[in-house]
């Protein structure tokens, strides 16, 4: 474990400069609102301290604006230059295809080097950004993706991916499809009747005879049912896509809702994948409320978005799968009280990396968002000290 003292902590003034990274791609349909013609627009911010640097930390998350995430603002406050770049899907992930997110990251890395003039780039992925960064670096070193998860052509196949010089994963899960499957409510056995639920698989049904702490047999049955539900939704998406293609409307899309996406037994039984998280709680609050709330993972989907992000069988971007192809120095920082990311995801990624320049650190007591008025600053300080030490030792 890492330790730090107040003398280790560095805080400086930093500036925040917004800008756009724009390129063109040929599109047969519009997956995001507001794009013009064939343009792809990514919203970015340069967060930089007062001292010059020839290294940029490039941060990205599949959705949202990473420039306002606590971890990246803290890195800028610690004196680093941070390029916080959004994907084209800043307004939501219903139609998100991870292959396009890799293209967006490629454009931001190139812009950081060629326009902004940074000599070295370190990729930083927090939470869902971890698999994106690991997937990008693996593809930059050894290409495997030639088509989208829906089996369609992608510009990614012919786009040069500039490899980074280093990789950092902070409180990161292995992939969106593995995380969602851990969260899926398997008591929903018919997607057309989401309110009819199998009480023996419903964690939140008081009539469920299975109570925490759960037996190993029940957990195994539950996990198998989660994988089966993922496969059923995938089959529905494939059938819908095939129907559009057979009708001569292969560029059409279909949208649907996925109910019940916050039912990981870890929320109820702290002995499952144990860490220091608060029992009966999650990063979205009460998991029973979040299970069918509007902010749940994968709540709104398209056929291609499901296949690329959430399908266990077809999604192509996964940090654990990518790890063996990654040869650059890699830092993994876990939060011991993470109430979103399974602890096993980070351990599995680290174990899958080749032997060599890799480090694993844990911030004791930190939850996923580094939240909590009393501890937030100290946990963010601990993260920045770990990163600063690692960056300095690698001459970044």
Q: What pLDDT digit, counting tens, does each position of 25-37 carry?
A: 887 788 887 767 7
Mean of the pLDDT values across residues 56-61?
98
Average pLDDT for residues 46-51, to the nearest whole number? 92
Provide the Cα torsion 229, 231, 236, 242; round to 10°.
180
| Largest pairwise CA distance in the chain | 67
- Alpha helices (H) in the chain, listed in sequence order: 70-77, 98-114, 129-141, 176-183, 216-246, 287-290, 303-305, 319-322, 343-352, 376-393
pLDDT recorded at residue 89: 95
**What's the CA gap between 299 and 327, in Å, rounded?**
36
* β pairing state of 55-59 and 120-126: parallel
Inform me whether the pLDDT recorded for 2 exceeds 60.
no
The predicted model gives 44-72 an average pLDDT of 94
CB atoms within 10 A of CB 197: 21
387 near 394, Cβ under 8 Å? no
Find, among 173, 176, 132, 170, the residue nearest to 341 by Cα. Answer: 173
Predicted confidence at residue 5, as pLDDT, reads: 39
pLDDT of residue 6: 42
* Confidence tier at 375 by pLDDT (50, 70, 90): low
| Closest to 363 in 3D by CA, of 371, 351, 355 | 371
Rg (CA), the chain: 21
Using one digit for the tens of pLDDT, what is the confidence trace for 175-233? 999 999 999 999 999 999 999 999 999 999 999 999 999 999 999 999 999 999 999 99
Task: Say yes or no to pLDDT of 371 above 90.
Answer: no
3 band by pLDDT with thresholds 50, 70 and 90: very low
For residues 230-238, give the mean pLDDT: 98
Cβ partners under 8 Å of residue 284, min gap 6: 262, 290, 293, 295, 296
Mean pLDDT of 294-308: 96
- Measure the CA angle with vertex 309, ends 312 and 261; round to 5°: 75
**pLDDT of 94-118, one tens digit each?**
999 999 999 999 999 999 999 999 9
- What's the whole-number mean pLDDT along residues 76-105? 96
Reduced to 3 states (helix: H, G, I; strand: E, B; else coil), residue 169 is strand
pLDDT above 90 (res 328): yes
The domains located in the chain, with CATH, are 6-175+315-393 (3.40.50.1820), 180-310 (no CATH)
| DSSP-derived 3-state class of residue 225 | helix
Res 7 pLDDT > 60? no
- The total of other beta-carbon atoms located within 10 Å of residue 120's CB is 17
Do residues 104 and 60 make contact, with C-beta atoms less than 8 angstroms apart?
yes
């Amino acid at each position: 474990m890492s330790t730090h003292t107040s003398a280790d902590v560095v805080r400086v003034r930093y500036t925040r400069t917004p800008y756009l990274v724009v390129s063109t791609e040929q599109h047969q349909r519009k997956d995001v609102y507001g794009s013009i013609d064939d343009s792809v627009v990514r919203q970015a911010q340069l967060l930089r301290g007062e001292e010059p640097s020839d290294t940029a930390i490039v941060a990205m998350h599949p959705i949202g604006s990473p420039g306002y995430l606590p971890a990246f603002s803290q890195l800028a406050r610690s004196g680093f230059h941070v390029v916080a770049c959004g994907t084209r899907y800043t307004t939501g992930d219903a139609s998100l295809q991870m292959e396009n997110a890799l293209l967006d990251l490629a454009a931001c890395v190139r812009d950081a080097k060629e326009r902004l003039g940074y000599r070295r780039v370190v990729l930083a992925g927090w939470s869902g950004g971890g698999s994106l960064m690991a997937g990008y670096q693996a593809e930059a070193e050894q290409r495997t993706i030639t088509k989208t998860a829906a089996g369609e052509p992608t510009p990614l196949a012919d786009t040069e991916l500039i490899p980074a010089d280093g990789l950092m994963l902070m409180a990161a899960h292995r992939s969106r499809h593995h995380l969602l499957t851990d969260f899926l409510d398997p008591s929903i056995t018919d997607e057309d009747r989401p309110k009819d639920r199998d009480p023996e698989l419903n964690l939140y049904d008081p009539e469920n005879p299975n109570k925490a702490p759960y037996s190993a047999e029940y957990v195994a049955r539950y996990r198998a049912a989660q994988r089966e539900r993922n496969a059923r939704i995938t089959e529905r998406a494939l059938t819908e896509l095939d129907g559009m293609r057979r009708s001569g409307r292969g560029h059409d899309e279909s949208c649907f809702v996925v109910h019940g996406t916050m039912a990981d037994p870890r929320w109820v039984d702290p002995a499952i994948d144990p860490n220091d998280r608060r029992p009966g709680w999650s990063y979205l609050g009460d998991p029973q409320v979040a299970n069918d709330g509007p902010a749940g993972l994968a709540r709104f989907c398209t056929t291609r978005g499901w296949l690329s992000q959430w399908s266990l069988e077809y999604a192509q971007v996964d940090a654990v799968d990518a790890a063996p192809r990654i040869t650059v120095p890699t830092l993994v920082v876990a939060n011991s009280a993470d109430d979103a990311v399974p602890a096993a995801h980070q351990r599995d990624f680290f174990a899958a990396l080749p032997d060599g320049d890799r480090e694993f650190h844990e911030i004791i007591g930190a939850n996923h968002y580094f939240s909590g008025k009393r501890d937030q600053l100290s946990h963010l300080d601990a993260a920045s000290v770990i990163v600063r030490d690692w960056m300095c030792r690698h001459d970044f």
